[in-house]
Amino acid sequence: MNILIIGSGGREHAIAMALSKSPIKNQLFALPGNPGINEYCECIDIDPSNFREIKNFSKNNNIDLVIVGPEVPICEGITDYLKEYKIDVFAPSLEASKLESSKKFTKEIAFENNIPTGEAKWFDNYADACLYLEKLEAPYVIKADGLAAGKGVAICEDLNGAKNSLEDVFNGKFGSGQSVLIEEFLYGQELSYFAITDGKEILPLIGAQDHKPLLDKDEGPNTGGMGAYCPPPMLSTELENKIMNQILEPTIYGLRKRGIEYKGVLFAGLMVRDNQPSLIEYNIRFGDPETQALLMLMKSDFAELLFETVNGNINNYNLEWEKKKAITVVLANEGYPSQYNKNSEIYGIEDAEKNPNVKVFHAGTSIIDGSLIATGGRVLNVTSIADTLELAREHAYSAIEKITYKGKVYRNDIAWRALSKIT
């Protein structure tokens, strides 16, 4: 079996690592890949948005399965395009991808199927949105209705800040068009929950908690994610059953009612209060950086799981997990998520990985003139597993101390909710 991974970040590096363990793969390719992914895959210099070249490469190299990591190619219709040429793809269709590309669509599915979620209204112009805001009480939740790389959400404590966030959206700051969702603020703890679906059955994976804000204590601007850990202590069997019965299953049912088949990973962003989950949003791909921690815990054959999903055969599939805890800490470039340095050389990864419980995934690195350079906003994902979350955290932060580059930025409190026993 030949497998092609599309993407260039830490998530795709983790996917490549997991696939490399499978006995059913023959060769792994990645486009465009990165220096870390190159450990497992032959990296190909093709733009993920160039569907024609991807199709030609897949045909010429007898690719049996294409796995799409980032959301943009999925929401641009890569699955539909490649399927026209009889190429199997692990990613949902263009129509199904609206669960991520349109927050309005997701709310419609939730409202139609009695899925617990916050009240919301959407607006196509600034004036009407402002008038609605003036009727509400703080805090205000402002969401750009489109893809925004995890950064298109603002939680504002005052009306002026909320209006400024509206201006950002309508001025095209997030590149997602001039449409905005104003949503009820939900109190509680955030939870990322992952499941695989073959269009009929839903196979739960594992939950995680992400850390979106840049700084300790959840301060600073939102990012694509500064760290994650799994499984979170808050995810009880009772809560997991509620997530499946009240949120995921009604979502798949609601899509089918509209004639939409969903195949791939379903990533629900949830708010949990008093053991009751509410849907915040959906993503139609594996989370980043949650996947890095999640796949370190998977014992089952990842390649087999993805093939069975595409072929509609996950009924009664038995997933096995390491009975351990995992944590990922993101190392970013100073200035992220705005302008940041792109020319610092990275040292110390080999020393960090001398601990067999640690893996350093490349998120934004390049080889320039023979040196490993930090070229992305998020540079590396230091991931560790251990019998306890406390020990996994200790391993990760010890490894971080061994890695150096100019402008290294990271949070010091990943997994604080679990370790402080805050509920």
Tens of pLDDT, residue by residue over 193-209, are: 999 999 999 999 999 99
Do the domain assignments include residue 342?
yes
- Residues 361-384, mean pLDDT to the nearest whole number: 98
Whether 124 maps to a domain, the answer reads: yes
Using the 3D structure, point to which of 310, 341, 375 is the last residue of a domain.
Answer: 310
Looking only at the bridges linking them, the beta strands covering 65-68 and 2-7 are parallel
Whether residues 221 and 303 share a domain: the answer is yes
Same domain, 402 and 336: yes
Does any domain span residue 102?
no
β-pairing verdict for 27-32 and 358-362: unpaired
Instruction: Quote the pLDDT of residue 148.
Output: 57
Confidence of residue 421 (pLDDT cuts 50, 70, 90): low
Phi-psi region of 199 (alpha: psi -120 to 50; beta: other; left: phi over 0): left
Q: What is the band of 422 on the pLDDT scale with cuts at 50, 70, 90? A: very low
Mean pLDDT (whole number) for 393-420: 96
Is the pLDDT at 392 greater than 80? The verdict is yes
Domain boundary among 134, 165, 183: 183
Q: Is residue 40 part of a domain?
A: yes
> What are the pLDDT digits (tens) for 65-98?
999 999 999 999 999 999 999 999 999 999 999 9
- Report CA-CA distances (Å) from 13 to 243, 348, 383: 29, 18, 12
Specify the range with the lowest mean pLDDT, choosing from 14-28, 162-176, 246-260, 265-279: 162-176
152 and 206 housed in the same domain: no
Q: Edge to edge, what strands does the sheet with 140-144 contain?
A: 120-123, 180-183, 140-144, 153-156
C-alpha span between 74 and 286 (Å, rounded): 12
Residue reference for tokens 């805890």: 325
Q: Which pTM was predicted?
A: 0.92
Please give the average per-residue pLDDT across 177-183, as a whole number: 80
Residues 200 and 296 occupy one common structural domain:
yes
- Rounded mean pLDDT of 23-28? 88
Q: In 87-226, where does DSSP find H-type helix?
A: 98-101, 103-112, 126-133, 159-170
- Overall average pLDDT of the 316-321 stretch: 92
Share of the chain above pLDDT 90, in %: 80
CATH of the domain at 151: 3.30.1490.20
196 and 290 fall within a common domain: yes
Please determine, for residue 264, whether its predicted confidence score (pLDDT) is greater than 90. yes
Please state the domain count of the chain: 4
Q: Does residue 357 belong to any structural domain of this protein?
A: yes
237 and 222, same structural domain? Answer: yes
- The CATH number of the domain holding residue 75 is 3.40.50.20
- Judgement on whether residues 330 and 247 belong to the same structural domain of the protein: no
Cis peptide before 231 (omega within 30 of 0): yes
Indicate whether 360 pLDDT > 70.
Answer: yes
Whether pLDDT at 338 is above 70: yes
- pLDDT tens sequence across 94-149: 999 999 998 889 999 999 999 999 998 889 888 899 988 888 888 988 888 766 55
In a domain, 105, yes or no: no
Q: How many whole angstroms separate alpha carbon 101 and alpha carbon 180?
A: 12
Residue 108 counted as domain residue: no
Q: What is the pLDDT of residue 423?
A: 37
Residue 290 lies in a domain: yes
**Containing domain of residue 252, as a range?**
189-310
Angstrom distance (rounded) from CA 131 to CA 333: 39
Residues 201 and 222 in one domain: yes
Does residue 297 share a domain with residue 203?
yes
3-class secondary-structure state, position 216: helix
75 and 137 share a domain? no
272 and 305 fall within a common domain: yes
pLDDT above 70 as % of the chain: 96
Residue 176 reports pLDDT greater than 80? no
Mean pLDDT score of the chain: 93
pLDDT at 61 over 80: yes
Q: Are residues 265 and 350 in the same domain?
A: no
Query: Is 177's pLDDT higher than 60?
Result: no
Which domain CATH number covers 338? 3.90.600.10
Rounded to an integer, the average pLDDT of 335-349 is: 95
So what's the pLDDT on residue 144? Answer: 82
- Look at the block and give the residue holding tokens 């594992």: 206
Residue position matching structure tokens 């995992």: 326
